[in-house]
């Protein structure tokens, strides 16, 4: 079963399939250049987010660096380990392609005769239906924001009002960064209408447009103990309330165009909701250039067949790791933290998020996994414990890199009936590495750590079974 799906995905992604040949014939222009054109240029272009590979000769000059980045799977950036699940829009290189690179390196990096590049930039959104946006929202107040000149990386959150007047569902998403030289990654969070003013207030208190937000949707400065204490003197338990009120809506990374959520599903937006747009700016290649006119495009439906949500999964105690001693990463250690949610126990929470009345929840479709840690993250795993007592790895990340976090969407969802939910759970497991001299604690700040999974889960709704039907 697994095998047939992977063949299907491999054929739709069509990574320039090259028949194995011996090292003698392997040269840059004939064998390697087509692989780079197909798999790298969406980011490594003159107008892209990393050094350009458009010029074939200059790229050849970087051959050793390129080969090692590929063979060590640092590039293309794709955190998920192969062999566990088949994911939509997988940009990693398949083993046959890597073997070509390896033979080329072993054969002494032959160059061959110059040839024109094959047609570049195939949209890699295999499995996704066509994206047809109907709502367009500007992200940057006043249209322009200059990322902090004092640092090459900045995470900045901007607040955008959701303009829908009625309850509606987001069914597709695209970010259109105004300046691809500095926009590295975009994560979009939704915020419950009741908490919109609290977020606005935090934005007003920070200088300039938006606020710094390294680890998620809330301001970095609340990770600072004194700031947090002052804030919670105003709003008891305020930081936790802020975090409970936001959820992962969508994300964009270079090379992605518009994509739609699985057919028939969507995420509910209430009138008056707020959107937090976390822009990750990486300014090394283009210092002192502003981000201008960045925009979000949404495909919206007034109703969907299967309302969905992102299960936001963590042990809440870890977020106050120092106070509770629940997450303490000592220098030089490599501790692992694990947390499990039983899906049967989440029905009330799911009803509240999706608006589907609890007794009408008949089945759940688990579509994705998405690991989240900060910069001390080392590796992690999301595991499904299925109703038959089997364990299945939904996502394994052998080498964590905060910059490439994303939803990893399965080519087929995992579907569970209401009766099975009590025997079904999802675990998130994070391993941390602390190379500093000081202990690191669980928390919200950029020097603190986190361990989350976000899974996109859709609800199949139906008439509740009657008491005589034996439902409990
Ligand atoms: C989704 C965007 C994206 C794709 C696709 C991509 N890269 Fe990169 N690459 C980057 C970015 C951004 C950097 C800059 C450093 C960083 O952020 O890691 C980079 C850095 C690099 C580096 C230097 C850093 C290192 O690890 O040695 C090499 C070499 C490289 N890429 C090769 C490739 C090759 C070859 C491909 C195609 C097979 C590729 N990349 C595909 C975004 C991408």
Distance 23 CA to ligand 1 centre (A): 25
What whole-number distance in Å separates Cα of residue 281 and Cα of residue 269? 27
pLDDT at res. 319:
84
Mutate to test the pocket of ligand 1, among 38, 42, 75, 94 (most ligand atoms within 8 A of CB): 75
Task: Give the highest mean pLDDT range of 119-133, 249-263, 371-385.
Answer: 371-385
pLDDT at res. 218:
94
Residue nearest to ligand 1 atom 1, measured at CA? 254
Calculate the alpha carbon distances from 82 to 85, 87, 396, 404, 428 in Å: 7, 10, 8, 16, 18
Distance 249 CA to ligand 1 centre (A): 26
Q: Is the CB of 39 under 6 A from ligand 1?
A: yes
What whole-number distance in Å separates Cα of residue 104 and Cα of residue 173? 39
Q: Is the CB of 77 under 6 A from ligand 1?
A: yes
pLDDT at res. 18:
45
Distance 66 CA to ligand 1 centre (A): 8
- Rg over alpha carbons for the chain, rounded to the nearest Å, is 23
Distance 51 CA to ligand 1 centre (A): 8
pLDDT at res. 122:
47
**pLDDT band at residue 90, thresholds of 50, 70 and 90?**
very high
* pLDDT at 8 > cutoff 80: no
Q: Is the CB of 79 under 6 A from ligand 1?
A: no
pLDDT at res. 127:
41
Distance 75 CA to ligand 1 centre (A): 5
Residue nearest to ligand 1 atom 28, measured at CA? 66
What whole-number distance in Å separates Cα of residue 143 and Cα of residue 294? 8
In terms of Cα–Cα distance, which of 202, 264, 262 is closest to 227? Answer: 202
Residue with the larger pLDDT of the pair 321 and 93: 93
**pLDDT band at residue 184, thresholds of 50, 70 and 90?**
confident
Q: What is the pLDDT of residues 327-360, one digit of tens each?
A: 999 999 999 999 999 999 999 999 998 999 999 9
Calculate the alpha carbon distances from 333 to 75, 251, 328, 439 in Å: 28, 32, 10, 10
Calculate the alpha carbon distances from 212 to 65, 191, 216, 277 in Å: 33, 17, 10, 11
Q: Is the CB of 130 under 6 A from ligand 1?
A: no
- The set of residues, in sequence order, having a beta carbon less than 8 Å from that of 257 and lying 6+ positions away, is 123, 125, 131, 174
pLDDT at res. 105:
95
Distance 44 CA to ligand 1 centre (A): 7
pLDDT > 90 fraction of the chain, expressed in percent and rounded: 71
**pLDDT band at residue 123, thresholds of 50, 70 and 90?**
very low
* pLDDT at 376 > cutoff 90: yes
* pLDDT at 125 > cutoff 50: no
Distance 76 CA to ligand 1 centre (A): 6
What whole-number distance in Å separates Cα of residue 174 and Cα of residue 125? 12
* pLDDT at 202 > cutoff 80: yes
Mutate to test the pocket of ligand 1, among 16, 40, 42 (most ligand atoms within 8 A of CB): 40
- Contact 244/352 with Cβ under 8 angstroms? no
pLDDT at res. 10:
38
Q: What is the pLDDT of residues 140-168, one digit of tens each?
A: 999 999 999 888 889 999 999 999 889 99
Q: Which of 17-26, 107-116, 187-196, 393-402 has the lowest mean pLDDT?
A: 17-26
**pLDDT band at residue 446, thresholds of 50, 70 and 90?**
confident
Instruction: Report CA dihedral (145, 146, 151, 154) to the nearest 10 degrees.
Output: 10
* pLDDT at 12 > cutoff 80: no
For all residues of the chain together, what is the average pLDDT?
88
pLDDT at res. 472:
42
């Amino acid at each position: 079963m697994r095998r047939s799906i992977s063949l299907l995905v491999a054929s739709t992604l069509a990574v320039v399939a090259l028949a194995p040949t011996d090292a003698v014939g392997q040269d840059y222009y004939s064998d390697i250049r087509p692989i780079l054109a197909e798999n790298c240029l969406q980011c490594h272009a003159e107008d892209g987010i990393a050094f350009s590979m458009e010029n074939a000769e200059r790229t050849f000059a970087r051959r050793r660096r390129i080969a090692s980045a590929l063979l060590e799977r640092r590039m293309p950036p794709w955190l998920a380990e192969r062999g566990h699940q088949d994911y939509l829009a997988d940009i990693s290189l398949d083993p046959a392609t890597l073997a070509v690179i390896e033979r080329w390196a072993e054969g002494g990096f032959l160059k061959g005769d110059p040839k024109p590049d094959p047609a570049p930039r195939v949209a890699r959104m295999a499995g996704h239906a066509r994206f047809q946006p109907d709502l367009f929202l500007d992200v940057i107040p006043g249209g322009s924001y200059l990322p902090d000149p004092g640092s090459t990386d900045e995470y900045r959150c901007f607040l955008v009002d959701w303009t829908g007047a009625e309850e509606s569902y987001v069914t597709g998403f695209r970010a259109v960064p105004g300046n691809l030289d500095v926009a590295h990654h975009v994560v979009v969070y939704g915020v419950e209408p009741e908490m919109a003013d609290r977020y606005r207030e935090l934005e007003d208190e920070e200088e300039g447009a938006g606020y710094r937000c390294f680890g998620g949707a809330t301001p970095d400065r609340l990770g600072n103990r004194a700031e947090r204490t002052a804030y919670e003197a105003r709003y008891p338990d305020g930081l936790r309330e802020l975090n409970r009120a936001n959820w992962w809506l969508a994300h964009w990374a270079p090379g992605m165009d518009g994509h739609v959520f699985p057919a028939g599903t969507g995420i509910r937006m209430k009138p008056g909701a707020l959107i937090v747009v976390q822009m990750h700016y990486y300014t090394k290649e283009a210092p002192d250039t502003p981000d201008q006119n960045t925009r979000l495009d949404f495909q919206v439906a007034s109703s969907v067949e299967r309302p969905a949500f992102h299960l936001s999964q963590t042990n809440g105690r870890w977020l106050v790791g120092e106070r509770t001693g629940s997450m303490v990463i000592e220098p030089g250690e490599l501790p692992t933290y694990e947390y499990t949610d039983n899906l049967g126990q989440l029905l009330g929470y799911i009803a509240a998020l999706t608006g589907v009345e609890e007794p009408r929840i008949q089945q759940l479709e688990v579509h994705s996994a998405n690991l989240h840690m900060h910069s001390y993250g080392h590796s992690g795993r999301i595991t499904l414990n299925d109703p038959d007592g089997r364990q299945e790895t939904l996502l394994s990340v052998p080498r964590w890199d905060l910059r490439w976090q994303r939803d990893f969407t399965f080519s087929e969802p995992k579907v569970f009936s209401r009766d099975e939910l009590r025997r079904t759970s999802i675990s998130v497991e994070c391993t941390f590495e602390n190379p500093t001299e000081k202990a690191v604690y669980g928390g919200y700040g950029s020097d603190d750590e986190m361990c989350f999974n976000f899974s996109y889960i859709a609800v199949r709704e139906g008439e509740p079974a009657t008491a005589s039907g034996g439902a409990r």
